[in-house]
């Protein structure tokens, strides 16, 4: 879901231009209006509905527009494709009593690259993609499944209304910011989706039944899953200011500003349409040493998520300081360790809590991240008013870990230093495979710290180092025992995607009770009542420890001084389309 938490402590730093900066600009190695950005890993695809990794989002975001989006400087949800913020009407009687009606109108100026207007039919068809049961879009469906009615104005194809079946607290955000609007005339050129009822897709998600209703729907999904809509410049198409020019696998991805983009005429009065660089070049450099070398040589303009020690070294290097500015905005994300609770060894919450006690997070923040982090106990950011401050981060204590494991029936019967227990009638050692990011020194250091301390508690942690994309694949497919991960934090916590038992729940947490809490939480319009439910759910996650929450990091970001730019709390910490070249 394309959301980010709007925390009060969000740090927004605006670069100021000065005569001295302009003098420096003339000395830079590169003077073109092209922003060169380092990518830590190769995107899987450039399709916003099908891609599952954040590196892809960095690239495809400039290609697309949403009905509404978050302004990178004010962090307020503002109209983008829409003419204005939709009117919301609570329905007090009739068939949809208890629901809510949203009235939308797409901007008159909004057109696709070929001049065809962006219409309500484009958005409706995009939702039909989301609810196609043969496409891997389940994570989006949970936010949109409350749609009960979708009506397009017969007199104006840019106007439409949507009715939700209740007063979903994040209804506006869900309807306007979950997915961008995609061009129907490109992905549905033969208009086959015209025969498909969106409401029927939503009300009956069974693949078997939908195949009976629409025999072609699986073939359509297979067609849409092809490379044309994920890698081909003709198929990777949106209403945004940039277009895909080329993708050299393992090397770089080039986006170019459209020559006659319709949003340019709105940019003077609306910052949401400002797009200054002529080109955005994403250089794929997984190796941090190579990335740092490219930065110092001014081959790249932007690098984020720099290792803390490297970041400090850069700030003390006079040559680097002459050409780059350094920023540490609060990153609205969190690092955690996911435990697969479906596995017999990790099914007992006492074992999972023992793992939590065996991880010295304070040492990790101090010595590995050099203080760039704030501890957290729940999936929310500590600055959020919804955060359950009664829950304190679990302390490092080998003794407490041993105590919990003993209570769970684990003991060292063969005196080999590793605890064991009979599971399913078979003696089983307390051994867990830990997947770590091989390309990140901090991830490997964390893995070694966990391994060392866990051993003191009688737990055997086996480190399995993989590249970033493999880790993401393992996490998505739930093929892991223990894995380090991170996630962006949403503006208003919508836990259904990650925590409902029937959604993209990777750790295996939850039951009927927690599902009911999540449903109640996401449909409670009263903020005070909502927070009560939220804190109760956070307490349950804390008690069960399916994810060991580590900390929320501070971003470590470097941007070339040849650009006026903004740093933001929204991941990845910068908004490249707003970078403005400082001219000599």
Please give the mean pLDDT across all residues of the chain: 90
Contact of 165 with 146, CB cutoff 8 Å: yes
Residues 493 and 388 in one domain: yes
Residue 518 and residue 415 share a domain: yes
| Helix, strand, coil percentages in the chain from 3-state DSSP, rounded to 5 | 35, 20, 45
Does 192 lie in the same domain as 107?
yes
Residue located via tokens 């910068």: 574
Residues 419 and 478 in one domain: yes
Sign of CA dihedral 135, 231, 44, 178: negative
Of 191, 224, 257, the last residue of a domain is 224
498 lies in the same domain as 407: yes
User: DSSP string spanning 360-421?
Assistant: -HHHIIIIISTT-EEE-SSSS-TTSTTS-TTSPPPPP-HHHHHHHHHHTT-B-TT-SSS-EE
Boundary-marking domain end, from 182, 198, 224: 224
| Domain co-membership, 373 together with 491 | yes
For residue 441, tell me if it sits in a domain: yes
Residues 393 and 455 in one domain: yes
Q: Which domain holds residue 163?
A: 68-224
On the question of pLDDT at 14 being above 70, the answer is no
Backbone torsions φ then ψ of 113, nearest 5 degrees: -60, -30
**340 vs 99, more confident:** 340
**Which residue has better confidence, 536 or 90?**
536
431 vs 428: CA distance, rounded Å: 8
Q: How far apart (Å, rounded) are the C-alpha atoms in residues 461 and 522?
A: 38
Number of domains the chain is built from: 3
Last residue of some domain: 224, 259, 279? 224
Nearest-angstrom CA–CA distance, 572 and 57 = 10
Do 430 and 540 share a structural domain?
Answer: yes
* 501 within domain boundaries: yes
Alpha-carbon Rg for the chain in angstroms: 25
Q: What is the mean pLDDT of residues 237-262?
A: 96
The residue ranking higher by pLDDT, 430 or 486, is: 430
Assess if residue 534 is contained within a domain.
Answer: yes
pLDDT tier, 403 (very low <50, low <70, confident <90, very high otherwise): very high
Tell me, what CATH number does 369's domain have?
A: 3.10.105.10
Residue 562 lies in a domain: no
DSSP state of 106: B
Q: Does residue 59 lie within any of the structural domains?
A: yes
Residues 98 and 165 in one domain: yes
Within-domain flag for 489: yes
- 583 domain-assigned: no
83 and 201 fall within a common domain: yes
Residues 339 and 459 in one domain: yes
Asked whether residue 380 falls in the same domain as residue 350, the answer is: yes
pLDDT at 21 (0 to 100) = 37
Domain-embedded: residue 258: yes
Predicted confidence (pLDDT) per residue in 106-153, tens digit: 999 999 999 999 999 999 999 999 999 999 998 899 889 999 999 999
* pLDDT score recorded for residue 491: 61
**Could you read off the pLDDT of 147-189 as tens digits, one per residue?**
999 999 999 999 999 999 876 667 888 899 999 999 999 999 9
The answer to which of 207-211, 371-375, 479-483 has the lowest mean pLDDT is: 371-375
């Amino acid at each position: 879901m394309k959301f980010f938490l709007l925390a009060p402590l969000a740090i927004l730093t605006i670069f100021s231009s000065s005569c001295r900066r302009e003098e420096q600009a003339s000395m830079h190695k590169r003077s073109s209006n092209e922003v060169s950005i380092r990518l830590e890993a190769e995107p899987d695809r450039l399709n916003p509905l099908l891609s599952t990794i954040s590196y892809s989002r960095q690239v495809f975001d400039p290609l697309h527009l949403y009905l509404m989006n978050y302004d990178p400087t004010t962090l307020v949800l503002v109209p983008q494709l829409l003419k204005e913020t939709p009117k919301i009407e609570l329905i007090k009687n009739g068939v949809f009593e208890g629901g809510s009606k949203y009235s939308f109108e797409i901007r008159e100026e909004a057109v696709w690259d070929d001049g065809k207007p962006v219409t309500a039919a484009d958005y409706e068809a995009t939702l039909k993609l989301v609810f196609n049961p043969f496409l891997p879009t389940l994570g989006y469906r949970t936010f949109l499944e409350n749609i009960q009615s979708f009506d397009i104005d017969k007199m104006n194809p840019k106007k439409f209304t949507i009715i939700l079946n209740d007063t979903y607290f994040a209804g506006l955000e869900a309807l306007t910011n979950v997915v961008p609007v995609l061009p129907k005339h490109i992905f549905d050129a033969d208009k086959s989706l015209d025969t498909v009822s969106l409401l029927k897709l939503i009300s009956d998600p069974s693949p078997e039944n939908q195949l009976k209703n629409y025999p072609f729907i699986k073939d359509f999904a297979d067609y849409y899953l092809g490379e044309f809509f994920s890698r081909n410049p003709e198929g990777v198409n949106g209403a945004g200011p940039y277009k895909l020019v080329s993708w050299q696998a393992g090397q770089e991805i080039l986006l170019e500003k459209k020559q006659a983009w319709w949003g340019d005429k709105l940019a003077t009065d609306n910052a949401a349409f400002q797009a200054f660089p002529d080109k955005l070049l994403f250089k794929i450099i997984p190796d941090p040493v190579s990335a740092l070398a490219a930065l110092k040589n001014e081959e790249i303009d932007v690098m984020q998520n720099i290792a803390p020690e490297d970041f400090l070294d850069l700030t003390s290097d006079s040559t680097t300081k002459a050409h780059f500015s350094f920023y540490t905005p609060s990153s609205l994300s969190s690092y955690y360790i996911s435990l697969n609770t479906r596995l017999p060894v990790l099914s007992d919450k006492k074992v999972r809590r023992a793992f939590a006690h065996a991880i010295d997070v304070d040492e990790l923040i101090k010595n590995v991240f050099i203080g760039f982090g704030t501890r957290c106990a729940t999936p929310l950011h500590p600055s959020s008013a919804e955060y359950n401050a009664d829950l304190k981060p679990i302390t490092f204590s080998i003794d407490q870990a041993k105590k919990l494991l003993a209570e769970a029936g684990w003991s060292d019967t063969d005196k080999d230093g590793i605890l064991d227990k009979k599971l399913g009638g078979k003696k089983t050692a307390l051994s867990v495979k830990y997947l770590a990011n091989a390309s990140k020194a901090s991830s490997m250091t964390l893995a070694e710290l966990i391994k060392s301390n866990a051993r003191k508690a009688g737990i055997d942690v086996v480190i399995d180092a993989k590249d970033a994309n493999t880790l993401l694949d393992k996490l998505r497919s739930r093929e892991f025992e223990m894995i380090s991960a991170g996630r962006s934090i949403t503006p208003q916590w919508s836990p259904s995607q990650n925590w409902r038992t029937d959604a993209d729940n990777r750790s295996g947490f939850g039951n009927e009770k927690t599902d009911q809490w999540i449903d109640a939480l996401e449909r409670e319009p009263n903020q005070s009542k909502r927070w009560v439910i939220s804190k109760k759910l956070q307490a349950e996650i804390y008690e069960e420890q399916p994810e060991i929450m580590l900390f929320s990091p501070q971003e470590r970001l470097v941007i070339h001084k040849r650009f006026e730019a903004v740093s933001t709390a929204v991941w990845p910490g910068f908004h490249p389309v707003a970078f403005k070249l400082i001219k000599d």
